[in-house]
Amino acid sequence: MEQAPAEEWLKRRRNFQKMLSENAMEGCLITQNVGIYYFTGSMQTGYLFIPAEGEAAYYVRRSLTRALSESSVRTVDLGSFRQFGSRLAEDYPKLFASGTPRIGADLDVLPAQLYLRLVEMLPDAKWMDASVLLRRLRSVKSPYEISRIEKAAQAAAAAVEHGILQLREGMTELELMATLEQVMRNAGHAGLMRMRGYNQEMPTGMVAAGEAAAEPTYFDGPAGSRGLSAAVPQSSSLRRIKHGEPILIDIGCCIDGYVIDQTRTAVIGRLTPHLQAAYETAEAILRKTEAALAPGVSPENLYEQAIEMAAEAGLADHFMGYGPDQVKFLGHGIGLELDEWPVLAKGFRDPLEPGMTIAVEPKFTFPGLGVVGIENTYLMTENGFRTLTISPEKLYELSV
């Protein structure tokens, strides 16, 4: 693993401290693993407290030994959690001097039970939601973060190239997925892609063919797929791949914590004219999105543009899912988590900024037939964008 330079962690904390001050928060308690890692460089069980002014502290339950070797901030033993409130007051006397400190927290992911215990420990504190600040801060990536996503993109591209060579009629979706995963794991893929959404899970991604790819499920994406059972109701199944059906290869790769997300469509033989036209519409939406992708553009406008194109093609009912299972976005930010900001969706009006990394994924779902589409991850630059996905942008048509 290539660790971030020392100044990276300090810059992140200072930028966040500025945001806290601007939003009238005197400090913030980070409880989620990803958030702790983002600011410290360690992901051991504990709690990170960042004051608006002064030095942060990482209170570790387990493993303190490892956290001490990794963390870029003052790292101490958590001790008894019952005493955590008084411990914070002792360590930050100026902050607690008012008697009613305004403390932010990652409330979008903080378990209710833990929140209630914190309120009990610090009954006079005013707890505030800092999740918007955290997500905005992380939406703009540093050169180090971009380099990790680029490395993941290289591994994903190698996996697709190898997987296409192995693809055969009659192999199961899971067999093809395992082929892709082996290549990526050997390149350093963590074997998972973290998500912030409650109850949302994602393994390496999905390989799904024919009607199995179009089966709806709980996953908040345009394709959920059949999965292995009702206990694992998404991603690849044991269904065998057939001639002439669309094969959705929607995979991610996580290296050093950072994720790339990409989709390619394959077929053994040829797609039917209807599915071929839908795939070409997905490509056209991607090209039109790229033409408008620039700093200052509203994510909402990009989504609305895609909706109009799908409607003009007569495919509005199939865009990004089908019927009540359609999702209401065109793309999403990506980084340490698969579902970062910004989201290309209604309500996201804050303009795109240089340094943001965005996955754009126009897809069309046809119950009983399958899913077709394409997805790239992009880096916003000062003048436009740079494509981070390096797999060839094409429909993979394999001869029988």
Instruction: Encode pLDDT of 335-391 as tens digits.
Output: 999 999 999 999 999 999 999 999 999 999 999 999 999 999 999 999 999 999 999
Q: What is the dihedral of CA 36, 37, 39, 44, to 10 degrees?
A: 60
Chain-centroid distance, C-alpha 105: 20
Please tell me the predicted confidence (pLDDT) of residue 4: 87
**Phi/psi at 239 (5° precision):** -65, 140
Fold equal for 6-138 and 140-398: no
Instruction: Encode pLDDT of 298-344 as tens digits.
Output: 999 999 999 999 999 999 999 999 999 999 999 999 999 999 999 99
pLDDT < 50 stretches in the chain: none
Output the CATH code of domain 6-138: 3.40.350.10
For the chain, which residues make up each domain, given as ranges? Answer: 6-138, 140-398
Instruction: Supply the pTM of this predicted model.
Output: 0.96
Please tell me the predicted confidence (pLDDT) of residue 3: 80
Please tell me the predicted confidence (pLDDT) of residue 147: 97
CA distance 4 to 142: 10
**Phi/psi at 266 (5° precision):** -130, 165
CA distance 355 to 333: 11
What kind and span of H or E run contains 61? strand 57-62
Q: Which residues pair with 265 in a beta bridge?
A: 248
Q: 140-398 adopts what CATH topology?
A: Creatine Amidinohydrolase (3.90.230)
Please tell me the predicted confidence (pLDDT) of residue 13: 98
CA distance 182 to 218: 27
Question: What beta strand segments (E) does 298-356 contain?
Answer: 331-333, 340-344
Contact 222, 361 (CB under 8 A): yes
In a 10 Å sphere around its CB, with 0-12 CB exposed, 13-18 middle and 19+ buried, how is residue 368 labelled? exposed
Work out the angle between the directed axes of helices 273-292 and 299-312 (0-180°, nearest 10): 150
